[in-house]
Amino acid sequence: MRFACLVVLLVATGTSEGCCPPPQFESRAAGRGLELSENGGDPYSGYSRLYHDEKKGKYVKDVKVEFEKAGKVTLFVLEDYAGGRRYTVLNGNCSVKPLTGDFNRELCVKQSDYKGRAVLGLNDDLLPMDLYAVNYSNPDYDIYGEAVVLPISEGRCMRQTEMINARVKSKLVAVESAVVFNTTTSISDPSIFDIPKECKGNLHLKKVPPFNLNLHAIKIRL
């Protein structure tokens, strides 16, 4: 029986500029994590799709996750920067909130967070990556951890994996690892940016999940 081995070598030399994803992309992500509460932990796993379009000013996370105790959860988030609203649909229930500020930068990395070159592969078949510390916030939680990032071109890169802690008001609420895959620089279905049908009627949301599952987004980037 033969085994394939993935080797990560961290070389703490050189420097790297901060970078962001391409202005338009679509990705999938998969991840596992543990949600923490006063009642103990609840492991979860799931998949998500990410849709990112800077020109239209819209960003979507479409997530399906299953908790061992709580069961299945669906989460759809549309950030419409042009329209100034954030639509969150959790298990079919919608909440709409004002959205201000710059376009979503959760998947960007900063030069000051650069930790070194991470070379993935085996023997001569190697793929150079960069390792960054992760530190960002969104309306629901704060994220801290590390990410392996693929450099694409000057100022552009794509996060490939991340290992993060999620905190709410400094309290640890979840830990998560995720991998991003099948990324394309186009949007297969532009209607994904339409206002969710659940948000055209009564608006109600009991709870916003304290996990990233992109990562982000489970940033999987929920």
Residue-wise pLDDT for 140-190, tens only, equals: 788 899 999 999 988 999 999 999 999 998 899 999 999 999 999 999 999
Mean per-residue pLDDT over the chain, rounded: 83
For residue 73, what are the β-bridge partners?
Answer: 65
In sequence order, which residues have a C-beta less than 8 Å from that of residue 209 and are 6 or more positions away?
A: 35, 65, 73, 75, 90, 140, 222
pLDDT for 37:
87
pLDDT for 204:
52
Burial class (CB in 10 A: 0-12, 13-18, 19+), 72: exposed
Please identify every stretch of the chain with a pLDDT value under 70, giving residue numbers as ranges. 1-17, 201-222
In 3D, which of 111, 100, 102 has the Cα closest to residue 135?
A: 111
pLDDT for 202:
53
Q: Any idea which fold 15-200 has?
A: outer membrane lipoprotein receptor (LolB), chain A (2.50.20)
In 3D, which of 104, 71, 84 has the Cα closest to residue 209?
A: 71
What is the C-alpha separation between 102 and 124, in angstroms, rounded? 42
pLDDT for 211:
44
Question: Would you say the C-alpha torsion 49, 54, 55, 58 has a positive or negative sign?
Answer: positive
Domain ranges of the chain: 15-200
pLDDT for 85:
93
